[in-house]
Amino acid sequence: MKAMPRIQKVMTAMPHTIGSDIPIKKAMEMMREFRIRHLPVQRAGQLIGVLSDRDIKLARSFQGPGELTVDDVMTPDPYVVAPDASLDEVAFNMAEHKYGCAIVRQSNGKVVGIFTDNDALRSLGETLRSHYKTVAA
């Protein structure tokens, strides 16, 4: 039996991050350019939230006058795990709480990765391929 993979083996390393004072328009451009749906939000080098494409869509539907910033729209206190967290634990927590991602942070506070629902599906697909043979239809 194989050992359970650690999140650092299946996460997206070195994720793009964004500052809390950045306009939402800039965040949208960044997400579109890098084809991502989640951005860890930092202030003074510290993780303070996560911004998702869903957060932006919801905020834009209620937007009044003035320009919104990442700080106005982000979800504070994101789901954070250590690089050595087990894949099954993270996946079950994400499903249980309906989290779209887990931010992977070292004990010194540095964000080193992100594990998204896409990463989870990729990992599932790889596991299935390694355990089952494909049968032609």
Residue 2 lies in a domain: no
Residue 1 lies in a domain: no
Dihedral-angle region of residue 45 (phi above 0 means left; psi in -120 to 50 means alpha; beta otherwise): left
CATH number at residue 38: 3.10.580.10
Q: Please give the tally of structural domains in the chain.
A: 1
- Summarised one tens digit per residue, pLDDT across range 99-126 is 999 999 999 999 999 999 999 999 999 8
Spell out the per-residue pLDDT of the chain, length 137, in tens.
778 889 999 999 999 999 999 999 999 999 999 999 999 999 998 999 999 999 998 887 776 546 889 999 999 999 999 999 999 999 999 999 999 999 999 999 999 999 999 999 999 998 888 888 766 65
Burial of 117 per CB tally in 10 Å (0-12, 13-18, 19+)? middle
Q: Do the Cβ atoms of 102 and 81 come closer than 8 Å?
A: yes
Q: What is the pTM (predicted TM-score) of this model?
A: 0.87
The alpha carbon torsion through 123, 124, 126, 128 (nearest 10 deg) reads 160
Domain holding 46, by residue range, is 7-131
